[in-house]
Amino acid sequence: MDKLEWDNNALSLMEYIGIIESIYIPDLDDYDYIINVIRCEASAEAIEEAGNIPFGATDCMVIFKSRFNQRLLSKQNLYSQYLTEREIQELISYFELNTDKFWLLILFVCDYCESMFYQGITMKFTPLEQLEQLQSAISNVEDTASLTFKAGKQKVVLEDMRAIKAISEAINKYISEADIDTVKFLSRRQEEETSTILKDSPFIAYFAKMLLTFFNTQQQIRAKRRTGANHSIKEMELVSRLVYFIKLSRNKETWTDIENETLKAFLKQYKDYKYPHNISNVYPEFSI
């Protein structure tokens, strides 16, 4: 697979990408989502390069197609090897997935993770997030507390819990009654001066979670699970083998021996992990 052209076949091949995009990019009318107002130059270039974009092509498809055709995807050269990996292909067949569609999904998920973890832009907390954090911190106080405001040489310290609680209640009321334009304004982000490069372990957990979430959308995969199971052993095996195959880890024994349950441990370890406020430097922001 050397090039993607805008025709019905290309749209079909990127079907799985569209599914994952529809899950992780919320409806823009949902203002609980923190709006990313920064538009990457790469997006504009991809749209311009794509030319006559057919109906049904999404933002991520447009950008991915451009990067695929320019061979900017770090794992793109593994396609031939992917087709000959017997264990991986047997699992893909078992789950009744399309081999090429799934390959493009793997490339997309890996590219998205790299563009966020390794080349991503770290953003400051939005004004809305800061207000919510302060309100939450105050509401969790059970005994005494102090609140300090500093501006230059000016400093005010609140130590009376009645005053502090009043601020919390005022914030809660303000947010609950704010109109859409106000929420949008308070949701605008600003960049940190320096970006945070994330380590490999949370990268693996993020990558795996995206693929497992895709599996949840496939009825034929869900039907193969034991009653009450979040994912089957074979699902975990497929993702584990992909972690090693695309070299997110070079420890073959750890990731190809499913009895080790390494992936399960990674997902548990990073279940509540607080990722830095990184956004992709290439794709629209995902809410994961």
Q: What confidence tens digit (pLDDT) does each residue in 63-83 have? A: 999 999 999 999 999 999 999
Residue 248 clears pLDDT 70, i.e. is over it = yes
Max mean pLDDT range (195-209, 237-251, 263-277): 237-251
Q: How far apart are CA 3 and CA 71, in angstroms?
A: 9
Mean predicted confidence (pLDDT) in 261-281: 82
Residue 206 clears pLDDT 80, i.e. is over it = yes
Per-residue model confidence (pLDDT) at position 46:
52
Structural tokens at position 56? 């049904």
Residue 96 clears pLDDT 60, i.e. is over it = yes
Mean predicted confidence (pLDDT) in 152-168: 91
In this prediction, residue 51 has a pLDDT band, given cuts at 50, 70 and 90, of low
* Single pTM value for the model: 0.77
The answer to whether 256 and 192 are in contact (CB under 8 A) is: no
Beta-carbon neighbour count of residue 200 at 10 Å?
11
Average pLDDT over all residues of the chain:
84
Q: Percent of the chain beyond pLDDT 90?
A: 48
Residue 223 clears pLDDT 80, i.e. is over it = yes
Q: Give the tens place of pLDDT for each residue, 8-44.
A: 788 899 999 999 998 887 554 443 333 333 344 444 4
Q: How far apart are CA 42 and CA 104, in angstroms?
A: 19
Q: Percent of the chain beyond pLDDT 70?
A: 87
Per-residue model confidence (pLDDT) at position 10:
85
Q: How far apart are CA 145 and CA 90, in angstroms?
A: 60
Residue 209's contacts (CB-CB under 8 Å, 6 or more residues apart) are 267, 288
